[in-house]
Amino acid sequence: MSFSLYSVSGQGFVGRDENITELVKQLSSKNKIGFSLSGIRRIGKTSILKETKRLLEKKGIIVIYISVWSIVPSTVDEFAKILNRATILAFEKKLPKKFKFEHLLVTGTKALQTFLQNLKLSTTVAADLEASVSYVRKESDDVENAMKKSFSLIEDLSRMTKTQSVLVIDEFPSLADLTYGTKNQKMGLQIIQLLRTLFEDFKLTKLVVSGSFRDTLENLVTKSKAPFYKQLLLREIMPFNKKEIEEFLKHYLHTLKFSDEDTKNELYKITSGIPYNLQLIGKEIQYLELKKIDRKKLSEIIKIVLQKDGEQSFKEFTENISPSEIKVLKGLAKSPGLSPIDISKQEFIDENSVNNSLNLLGKKGIIKKVKRGRYEFTDNLFSEWLKYQSLL
């Protein structure tokens, strides 16, 4: 089996039975239900979305997958383009005649209606497309209408082709940052409101969103003032459990023998059950062509991985945090379980900053509170990397 640092589905996808069963069953049912998936970085959200997509498509359900991070520049206009393009592509096989959104964009204004008529679409679908095209071509500046028509296109195509569909928006909280016009006015939140209103009335289209920062996702989905409050089922994606790690090992490294249970437990602990870490360490074990592994060998491999890939893998974590947050993290990495007061003494920062930092780091999902005054890393490999950095 080949290792991957990208999201996986199909062959390389292991575990997650409960999540997948629920998602596929509910999303293919007649129930009016959508989901919001949260989970720390690299826990496997995108993979779950893609595996769900694959299985739903097998059942004849149309799935439109969009990652907000692929919208570059992050403007409403670009979003409209990407959404329309993805929608048409997803429905392609069910259309009377094949076409691409780009075809519509290059057809002259006058010819557009004839072009659309020839495609034998329903009147609502044709009208949705016409509105989106004229907006993207800057012939109209009614952005709200254009967005409304872009989302309605999915529901109207579903009705026209008599299919159920699912719109999946990955990295959903970033939608809030989309801007509009020459002044880069933020209007993402308006779009999110609109999405909510529209989905309330959609009969054939369901919505699934996903995001990694619990805080921002909560603002949109869980809090009582949030636009999607009580509209979506909330599911937190958890680390692999021991059974899933066993499954991962069997699938990816089936010839590898563990010299004892202790070594396996250590692998479980150091990876924190995060699939990305398993891919990272697994590819090294494969590269070294190891047949057998004990604790000593495992810690050697961890060192090699941190040396080779640590910076690339964890830089992103330290880029968006303040110097005192880093100090707190380093303190916790050096002495796991240290209380806030002791962190303050050990790292020479005042107690207020320590508590503040702990709070912010918790919101970012980098650490979790296990009980009063006691914090743990959500990713032990990251903690190991910080420790390793301090030794350099």
Ligand X SMILES: Nc1ncnc2c1ncn2[C@@H]1O[C@H](COP(=O)(O)OP(=O)(O)OP(=O)(O)O)[C@@H](O)[C@H]1O
Residues binding Mg ion (CB under 5 A): 46
Closer residue to Mg ion, CB minimum distance, 42 or 81: 42
* Nearest-approach distance from CB 3 to ligand X, in angstroms: 8
Residue 125: count of CB within 10 angstroms of its CB = 25
* Nearest-approach distance from CB 280 to ligand X, in angstroms: 8
**Is the Cβ–Cβ distance between 38 and 210 less than 8 Å?**
yes
DSSP secondary structure letter of residue 292: E
Choose which of 35, 99, 101, 276 interacts with ligand X (CB under 6 A): 276
Give the span between the Cα atoms of 319 and 331, in whole angstroms: 18
The end-to-end CA distance of the chain, in Å, is 34
Alpha helix positions (H), 162-229: 188-201, 214-221
* Nearest-approach distance from CB 320 to ligand X, in angstroms: 13
Residues forming beta bridges with residue 167, ordered by sequence position: 64, 207
Of 26-85, binders to ligand X (CB under 6 A) are 39, 41-47
Closer residue to ligand X, CB minimum distance, 71 or 116: 71
Give the span between the Cα atoms of 272 and 57, in whole angstroms: 32
14 binds, among ligand X, Mg ion, none (CB under 5 to 8 A by kind): ligand X
Residues forming beta bridges with residue 376, ordered by sequence position: 368
Of 323-382, binders to ligand X (CB under 6 A) are none
* Nearest-approach distance from CB 360 to ligand X, in angstroms: 18
Of 210-239, binders to ligand X (CB under 6 A) are 212
Give the span between the Cα atoms of 336 and 312, in whole angstroms: 24
Give the span between the Cα atoms of 288 and 265, in whole angstroms: 21
Please tell me whether residue 273 binds ligand X under the rule CB under 6 A: no
Closer residue to ligand X, CB minimum distance, 13 or 135: 13
* Nearest-approach distance from CB 49 to Mg ion, in angstroms: 8
Residues in the site for ligand X, rule: CB under 6 A? 4-8, 12-16, 39, 41-47, 212, 275-276, 279
